[in-house]
């Protein structure tokens, strides 16, 4: 079966750094996605990792270790607008995405 775990909620301070972890066990693997979703809106693509290592894109970075079934999303210089849900999703090579439960991040002043 497919199992993707991430923390339910996190709180961080404006200007700080936060790391959101995701662990997965899937029957196949063709890449891991991170999405940002504000309430009532569709998910917005943030990053994609298919090889081990760190992918950096501005204030957002994503890391993948395939051997450990582990990824994290790193958000730097947090802003109030970063308060949202962050979804980890795995393409299990079946040409479909399986989502984790999502992490609700609250950024406080």
Chain residues in the site for other proteins (CB under 8 A)? 31, 33, 40-43, 45, 48, 50, 85, 87, 95-102, 104
Place of tokens 């994609």: 48
Q: How far is the CB of 15 from other proteins (least distance, A)?
A: 26
Shortest distance (Å) from residue 18 CB to other proteins = 19
Please report how close the Cβ of residue 17 comes to other proteins at its closest, in angstroms. Answer: 24
Instruction: For tokens 């996190």, name the residue.
Output: 10
Distance CA 65, CA 97 (A): 18
The secondary structure of residue 53, as a DSSP letter, is E
* Residue (17 or 105) nearer to other proteins, CB: 105
* Residue placing its CB nearer to other proteins in the complex, 15 or 94: 94
Separation in Å, CA 14 to CA 5, 18, 67, 76, 107: 25, 10, 33, 10, 6
């Amino acid at each position: 079966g497919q199992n993707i775990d991430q923390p339910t909620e996190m709180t961080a301070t404006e200007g700080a750094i936060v790391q959101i972890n995701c662990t997965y066990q899937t029957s196949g693997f063709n890449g891991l996605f991170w999405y940002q979703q504000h309430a009532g809106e569709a998910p917005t693509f943030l990053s994609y990792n298919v090889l081990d290592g760190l992918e950096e894109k501005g204030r957002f970075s994503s890391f993948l270790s395939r051997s450990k079934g582990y990824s994290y999303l790193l958000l730097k210089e947090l802003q109030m607008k970063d308060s949202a849900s962050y979804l980890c999703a795995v393409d299990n090579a079946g040409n479909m995405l399986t989502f984790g439960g999502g992490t609700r991040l609250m950024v406080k002043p």
